[in-house]
């Protein structure tokens, strides 16, 4: 079941964030939210979206869009093309080709996986700034992919 949270924006106006969180076996399998100017609009979106997700095949269709971290990185590299810098492109290609994190399905990706990935980079004798660079580029690609879904 979804919730609606009222919050005050920086300009003083009120916004209503409708949030949906679905768990299975104590794990979050789907999470999304959207912000609206009116509570009634947020309630309508919430009811409609929950109906879609709980319909036969609804949740599975949303999960099917994600794929593995490597798939998301591949799509991101194709979509962004030459608009990214050489370093970011090289880092994302490297993550896709050389690291186990690329094989993890996005819906199963957990904080622990990212911490393990950072540890793998450090054990590979990379400087902390390089590790941060890898994590930053990975995070940017995954967050943009999440908003496109």
Out of 64, 84, 107, a domain closes at 64
pTM: 0.57
Query: Looking at the structure, do residues 84 and 60 belong to the same domain, yes or no?
Result: no
pLDDT greater than 60 at residue 133: yes
Average pLDDT over residues 4-18: 93
Residues 6+ apart with CB under 8 A from 116: 101
Give dist(CA 47, CA 3) in Å, integer.
10
What's the pLDDT at 134? 92
What's the pLDDT at 148? 46
Query: Looking at the structure, do residues 144 and 78 belong to the same domain, yes or no?
Result: yes
Helix 69-80 vs helix 86-98: angle between axes, to the nearest 10 degrees?
150
Q: 134 exposed, middle or buried (CB, 10 Å; 0-12, 13-18, 19+)?
A: buried
Percent of the chain with pLDDT over 90: 43
Half-sphere exposure of 100 (CA within 13 A, CB side): 9
Query: Looking at the structure, do residues 89 and 49 belong to the same domain, yes or no?
Result: no
Query: Looking at the structure, do residues 23 and 39 belong to the same domain, yes or no?
Result: yes
149 pLDDT band, cuts 50/70/90, is very low
Domain of 124, in residue numbers: 69-148
Average pLDDT over residues 14-40: 87
Query: Looking at the structure, do residues 75 and 47 belong to the same domain, yes or no?
Result: no
Helix 128-148 vs helix 69-80: angle between axes, to the nearest 10 degrees?
80
What's the pLDDT at 116? 93
pLDDT greater than 70 at residue 63: no
């Amino acid at each position: 079941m979804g919730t609606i949270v009222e919050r005050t924006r920086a300009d003083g106006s009120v916004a209503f964030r409708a949030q949906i969180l679905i768990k299975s076996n104590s794990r979050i399998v789907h999470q999304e939210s959207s912000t609206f100017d009116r509570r009634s609009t947020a309630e309508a979106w919430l009811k409609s979206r929950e109906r879609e997700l709980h319909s036969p095949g609804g949740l599975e269709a949303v999960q099917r869009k994600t794929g593995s971290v490597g798939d998301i990185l591949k799509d991101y590299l194709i979509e962004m093309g030459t608009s990214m810098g050489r370093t970011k492109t090289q880092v994302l290609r490297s993550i896709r080709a050389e690291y186990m994190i690329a094989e993890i399905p996005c819906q199963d990706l957990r904080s622990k996986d990212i911490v393990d990935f950072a540890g793998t980079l450090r054990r590979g004798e990379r400087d902390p700034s390089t590790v941060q660079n890898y994590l930053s580029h990975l995070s940017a690609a995954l967050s943009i992919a999440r908003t496109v879904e």
